[in-house]
Amino acid sequence: MENVSQIILRNEARLPTGPLLLINPPRDSLAQQLLQADRPVRCVTQDFGDFAWLSATGAEVSFEAVPGLDGSEQSVILFLPREKDRLAMLLHAIADRMGPQSKLWLTGENRSGIKSSPRHVRQWFSRVTPLDNARHCGLFEASEPARARPFDLADYSATWSMRYAGRELTLCSLPGVFAHGRLDKGTALLLDALEKLNPQGQILDFACGCGVVGLALLTAAPRACLTLLDNSALAIEASRLSIEANGFEARLLPSDGLGEVTGRYDWIISNPPFHRGVANDLDIAAEFFRLAGTFLAESGRIVIVCNRHLPYSKWLSHSFDTVERLAENGEYVVIQAGAWRRSGKQPSKSAAPRSQRKGNT
């Protein structure tokens, strides 16, 4: 069981009876252990992988960009997100929607910044009290929500524009989405390389974020069929807003990795994610490379951007006959792979030393 769950359980006697809401809980048995006859437990998560895992355990769980509170919750437990702007957004939503007598617990690991979190909580709650500090984690209780202004997700949306293939493109982003409110350097290099390739047909934007790569390709190839995939409910919502802002049509697909993908694609494009919480995790990329070829058309291609020190060219060569570098600079490299080998050797999870396990952020 995760340390953040253990600190909750050791303080369980402090929880009032009545409905309990867990927001972004970890993948463990906490929800089942807190469930009592007079304490129904409901979970809300912004992570589709966690949603699928918790659903499989029988927990009552929903996948939402913003947690839906109905005011009946006696207690709300929020697990500290990685991003401070996402924490601020969640605290505002909770304070606006929870009952006046309800209690909020905020927990997280010390390395995630839980010790500094009370200053963020005090913006939305009049009382903040430390409850516990154990197992390298902290636990705070907040009460008396200060409803300074009603919560509106649009207040947290960042809108920006860019030009691609001679056309103007509008992007909408939300806290917690990769490269929130900006075009990161790796994606900019990827888009430069893709403009020369001019992808057409069926396109999958894997880990789409706010949809910048897929929607840029759609501006240049309006007849393409685009699927935008992400594990994050906030990214799916940001992509939906970006689609609407440009008057496009595209399919939105929540998925943990490629688990929900069906069909075949002419192009799979990605600036792959390499984080789970605050930890770097190359297993995400290893699994993506292992499975991606099964969803490619016969002449389909994968194009990715990554930090140039990562061993992704080598990993791709285990499964594809053609692997080439299309562009690179001091930080990033764009790699194209094609001609998938069904019997390819799979990349080892330990293929890169831990000291090299860095993401694109």
DSSP of 91-151: HHHHHHHS-TT-EEEEEEEGGGTGGGTHHHHTTTEEEEEEEEEETTEEEEEEEEE--SS--
Percent of the chain with pLDDT over 90: 78
- Copy the structure tokens of residue 19: 């409905």
pLDDT digits (tens, 9 = 90+) for 55-64: 999 999 999 9
Sequence letter at residue 359: G
Q: Does residue 335 lie in a domain region?
A: yes
The domain spanning residue 19 has which CATH number?
Answer: 3.40.50.150
The total domain count for the chain is 2
Range of the domain at 44: 3-153
Contact 329, 216 (CB under 8 A): no
Contact 107, 139 (CB under 8 A): yes
Q: Does residue 332 lie in a domain region?
A: yes
Are 149 and 29 found together in one domain? Answer: yes
Q: Does residue 89 lie in a domain region?
A: yes
Q: Compare 192 and 359 and report the one with higher pLDDT.
A: 192
Are 121 and 212 found together in one domain? Answer: no
Q: Does residue 45 lie in a domain region?
A: yes
Strands 265-270 and 275-276 turn out to be unpaired
* Domain final residue, candidates 153, 174, 203: 153
pLDDT digits (tens, 9 = 90+) for 240-272: 999 999 999 999 999 999 999 999 999 999 998
Are 132 and 147 found together in one domain? Answer: yes
Are 28 and 141 found together in one domain? Answer: yes
Structure confidence at residue 288 (pLDDT): 87
Q: Does residue 127 lie in a domain region?
A: yes
Are 199 and 262 found together in one domain? Answer: yes
Structure confidence at residue 36 (pLDDT): 86
Q: Does residue 361 lie in a domain region?
A: no
Q: Does residue 219 lie in a domain region?
A: yes
Are 147 and 238 found together in one domain? Answer: no
Q: The whole model's pTM is what?
A: 0.91
